[in-house]
Amino acid sequence: MGIPYLCAMSDNNKLDMFRNRLAKVYKHRQKQARRMELGCYRVYDHDLPEFPFCIEVYEDKIYLAEYLRRHGMTDEEHETWLEACLQIIAEITGIPSARIHTRQRKKMSHRDEQYEKMDKKEEFYTVTEQGLKFLVNLTDYLDTGLFLDHRITRQLVREQSAGKRVLNLFCYTGSFSVYAAAGGAASVTSVDLSKTYLSWAEDHFRINLLKDKNKYQFVHADVKQYLKTLQPGSFDLVVMDPPTFSNSKRMKDFLDIQRDHVELINDVLAAMTAGGILYFSTNYTKFQLDQPAIHATEIKDITKATTPFDFEGKLKRWCFRIIK
């Protein structure tokens, strides 16, 4: 079946390729997600270079990110092409285009635009992941509020949090923190430089009925400086998932994860109890852990073990379990 208003035959062929690919992956992923009782999962990620999309299902809605590249189309042609792609996505998934939220992203998005707001619709949808509730926003920010690739790591944290003092650094909207609290943590401290994300994290606690203000703390700080203020033995379990690069007026110095990871990790370890666990994750593709410089008793690369079914073969992040 072709799209009539795209006149070039080769364009229709390409759209058919996209349709076939999407139909195949959607069928497969949807089945797996259903089996695992997951409503939020990734369907497609740059599978075909001519269709540079990331497509994620958030229950009855779709988040469609188009990565901008030099496509050689005029604005009008691009709009027509995108509309044709939307029709295909709606047709395959059965989710009408009104519920497909499209966003355009630059290829490498982690540098300056980290705090940039993309839109102002302020529409938040409640979704459920592994029994916990999260608010996602599919239009206003660079990311949705819930990073789907850490679903397994979040579950690990929940399973290991009972009675522990948990610290979540670069907490973003606090999804790891909610899992830790739900797992029975003695306390959960969430640290981020963004007030917007911290208040989003507080909302996540509220909607999950995690109300004990004495147990749950939200700290507005630069992690680098915050770590220097901690007493030894303050935490038993820590999650640290920093951006690759970060710069802000509130920071004394910029953060470059390759340059700074040894200092950050050693500062975290200094604030932990012996035998405490640190989950450290980074999206920096070329990241190299300077293992000998880290004061740990055990370091394990758990990237593969924490890769969910919908990210297999596609994941460009690293994850380590570091034991003090």
Ligand X SMILES: C[S@@+](CC[C@H](N)C(=O)[O-])C[C@H]1O[C@@H](n2cnc3c(N)ncnc32)[C@H](O)[C@@H]1O
Question: Minimum CB separation from ligand X for residue 171, in Å?
Answer: 6
198 contacts: CB under 8 Å, gap ≥ 6:
171, 174, 190, 192, 218, 219, 220
Q: Number of C-alpha atoms within 13 angstroms, CB side, residue 163?
A: 1
Question: Minimum CB separation from ligand X for residue 228, in Å?
Answer: 12
Q: Which is nearer to ligand X, 176 or 320 (CB)?
A: 176
Q: Which is nearer to ligand X, 43 or 167 (CB)?
A: 167
Rounded CA separation 262/255 (Å):
12
Q: Which is nearer to ligand X, 3 or 180 (CB)?
A: 180
Q: Which is nearer to ligand X, 58 or 176 (CB)?
A: 176
Question: Minimum CB separation from ligand X for residue 143, in Å?
Answer: 8
Q: Which is nearer to ligand X, 241 or 310 (CB)?
A: 241
Q: Which is nearer to ligand X, 93 or 246 (CB)?
A: 246
Q: Which is nearer to ligand X, 213 or 252 (CB)?
A: 252
> How many C-beta atoms surround the C-beta of residue 282 within 10 A?
19
Question: Minimum CB separation from ligand X for residue 242, in Å?
Answer: 6
Helix and strand element counts for the chain (H, E): 7, 15
Query: Which residue(s) pair with 53 in the sheet?
Result: 66
Burial 3-27 (b: 16+ CB within 10 A, else e): beebeeeebbebbeebbebbeebbe
Question: Minimum CB separation from ligand X for residue 173, in Å?
Answer: 6
Question: Minimum CB separation from ligand X for residue 184, in Å?
Answer: 20
Q: Which is nearer to ligand X, 192 or 267 (CB)?
A: 192
Question: Minimum CB separation from ligand X for residue 271, in Å?
Answer: 15
Which residue pairs from 185-191 have beta carbons closer than 8 angstroms and sit at least 24 positions apart in sequence? 185/161, 185/215, 185/237, 186/215, 187/215, 187/216, 187/217, 188/215, 188/216, 188/217, 189/165, 189/217, 189/219, 189/235, 190/216, 190/217, 190/218, 190/219, 191/167, 191/219, 191/220, 191/221, 191/223, 191/226
170 contacts: CB under 8 Å, gap ≥ 6:
191, 192, 223, 240, 241, 242, 243
Question: Minimum CB separation from ligand X for residue 209, in Å?
Answer: 20
> Which three-class secondary structure state does DSSP give residue 128?
strand
Rounded CA separation 103/142 (Å):
9
Q: Write out the residues near ligand X by the rule CB under 6 A.
A: 147, 150, 170, 172-173, 175-176, 191-194, 197, 222-224, 241, 243, 246, 251, 255
